[in-house]
Amino acid sequence: MAENEEKLTETRHERRKRVFSGVQPSGSLHLGNYLGAIKQFVDLQNDNDCIYCIVDEHAITVPQDPKELRKHILDLAALYMAVGVDPEKSIIFVQSEVPGHAQLGWVLACSSYTGELFRMTQFKAKSGGKESVGTGLLVYPVLMAADILLYDTDIVPVGSDQKQHIELCRDIAIRVNNTIKKTFVVPDGRFMKEGARIMALDDPTQKMSKSNKNIHSSIALLDDANKIKKSIMKSVTDSEGIVRFDPDEKPGVSNLMNIYSVLSGESLDSIEEMYAGKGYGDFKKDLVGVVQKALAPIQERYNEIRYSEELLTTLHDGAEKANSIAERTMKRVYDTFGLGVPAKIVR
């Protein structure tokens, strides 16, 4: 036990911070995914040990076409690399390639309560109005906690919609540490301030989402120049006609300003100044240019990587590295819970 505690203390203080995050391979990524989560992945990789996962086991909490899922896994891996996640610096891998996720998921399911899972707003939103709801959807946050705790993670960069799941992960880790034995590093969420919540272009009271049926509701990272233009020009604003940041009164314009600001580096104040006395038409036209310019190099790299052998090699290497960390944690976890065959005969 002393040795175990020592290891955890050392993990916390002497190594670089460990960063872990995951995205589901469920179709194309949009600007919300990019600005709310994945952009941080790239920023964090120089000063931290980063692990970025393609969470295919989370994806099957809702029905998937197996052929499509396999494609989406490669799509997402290529997109990670296209936005700048560098396999020389970060581990990129597919969740189901590392058995520890499912193994730890089960152990943590036995350390969590159904009450806390039923309380999750994402579960309520996804299960609401349905007659039968898959068990996976309910235990989804437990698997997410396993993803994070498996790597002694310090920091989890995610969109602000994941706050509640991070809290649950912390609660479970603290519960095991306090009631059985200190086993887990308790992680912190890192939520991007600007861009943490990108709203739908056709309805700025809803967040931009993969599941929205209207194609002009979101901008996918792989949208072509014409589609980007159409979606932005069609986006919902208001009748005031002044480019001013006010998320409560002017959610549409504020959302567009937010996108403009994070992609161009201009502050919200300077955007207000730039468009003083001009209408929404000019502002939207320039935003089209800003978005096209930001996405073009990502799309170019994506097309180079997506069908290359390098992609498969990266994922195999990533899984191997992830697995060697995960196996060490699982030894510790099985020891904490008293699972498995002991090293020598016990009476």
Q: Is 195 in the site for ligand TRP (CB under 6 A)?
A: no
Q: Is 144 in the site for ligand TRP (CB under 6 A)?
A: yes
Lookup: tokens for 242: 């002044």
Q: Is 55 in the site for ligand TRP (CB under 6 A)?
A: yes
In sequence order, the β-bridge partners of residue 90 are 50
Toward ligand TRP, which CB reaches closer, 58 or 284? 58
By Cβ distance, which residue is nearest to ligand TRP?
Answer: 22
Q: Which of residues 156-175 bind ligand TRP (CB under 6 A)?
A: 156, 158, 162, 165
Toward ligand AMP, which CB reaches closer, 9 or 205? 205
Euclidean distance between CA atoms 4 and 335, whole angstroms: 10
Cα–Cα nearest to 196, from 258, 244, 239, 251: 258
Lookup: tokens for 88: 């020389």
Euclidean distance between CA atoms 291 and 195, whole angstroms: 14
Toward ligand TRP, which CB reaches closer, 173 or 271? 173
Toward ligand AMP, which CB reaches closer, 161 or 202? 161
Q: Residues 207, 229, 250, 284: which is the catalytic one? A: 207
Lookup: tokens for 5: 């505690």
From residue 16 to residue 35, the character string flagging contacts with ligand TRP as x (rule: CB under 6 A) and all else as - is ----xxxxx-----------
Q: Helix or strand or coil: residue 94?
A: strand
Q: Helix or strand or coil: residue 155?
A: strand
Q: Is 91 in the site for ligand TRP (CB under 6 A)?
A: no
Q: Is 76 in the site for ligand TRP (CB under 6 A)?
A: no
Euclidean distance between CA atoms 301 and 342, whole angstroms: 50
Toward ligand TRP, which CB reaches closer, 50 or 82? 50
Q: Residues 71, 163, 210, 230: which is the catalytic one? A: 210
Q: Residue 193 catalytic?
A: no
231 binds, among ligand AMP, ligand TRP, none (CB under 5 to 8 A by kind): none
Amino acid symbol at 306:
R
Neighbours of 241 (CB within 10 A): 12
Amino acid symbol at 236:
V
148 binds, among ligand AMP, ligand TRP, none (CB under 5 to 8 A by kind): ligand TRP
Do 244 and 250 form a contact (C-beta atoms < 8 A)?
yes
Q: Residues 7, 71, 89, 126: which is the catalytic one? A: 126
Toward ligand AMP, which CB reaches closer, 170 or 207? 207
Judged on CB neighbours under 10 Å (0-12, 13-18, 19+), 158 is buried
Q: Residue 234 catalytic?
A: no
254 binds, among ligand TRP, ligand AMP, none (CB under 5 to 8 A by kind): none
Q: Which residue from 18, 30, 58, 170 is in contact with ligand TRP, where contact means CB under 6 A?
A: 58
32 binds, among ligand TRP, ligand AMP, none (CB under 5 to 8 A by kind): ligand AMP
CB of 276 to ligand TRP, least distance (A): 38
Do 253 and 330 form a contact (C-beta atoms < 8 A)?
no
CB of 311 to ligand TRP, least distance (A): 21
Euclidean distance between CA atoms 337 and 347, whole angstroms: 17
Cα–Cα nearest to 87, from 314, 278, 265, 252: 314
Q: Residue 67 catalytic?
A: no
Euclidean distance between CA atoms 189 and 213, whole angstroms: 30
CB of 159 to ligand AMP, least distance (A): 2
Euclidean distance between CA atoms 73 and 112, whole angstroms: 29
Toward ligand TRP, which CB reaches closer, 21 or 231? 21
Do 192 and 161 form a contact (C-beta atoms < 8 A)?
no
CA angle 159, 186, 116 (to 5 degrees): 70
Judged by the rule CB under 6 A, the positions of this chain that interact with ligand AMP are 23-24, 32-33, 36-37, 158-159, 161-162, 196-198, 207-208, 210
Distances from the Cα of 206 to the Cαs of 32, 164, 236, in angstroms?
Answer: 12, 18, 12
Residues found near ligand TRP in the complex (CB under 6 A): 20-24, 55, 58, 144, 147-148, 156, 158, 162, 165
- Residues with catalytic roles: 126, 207, 210
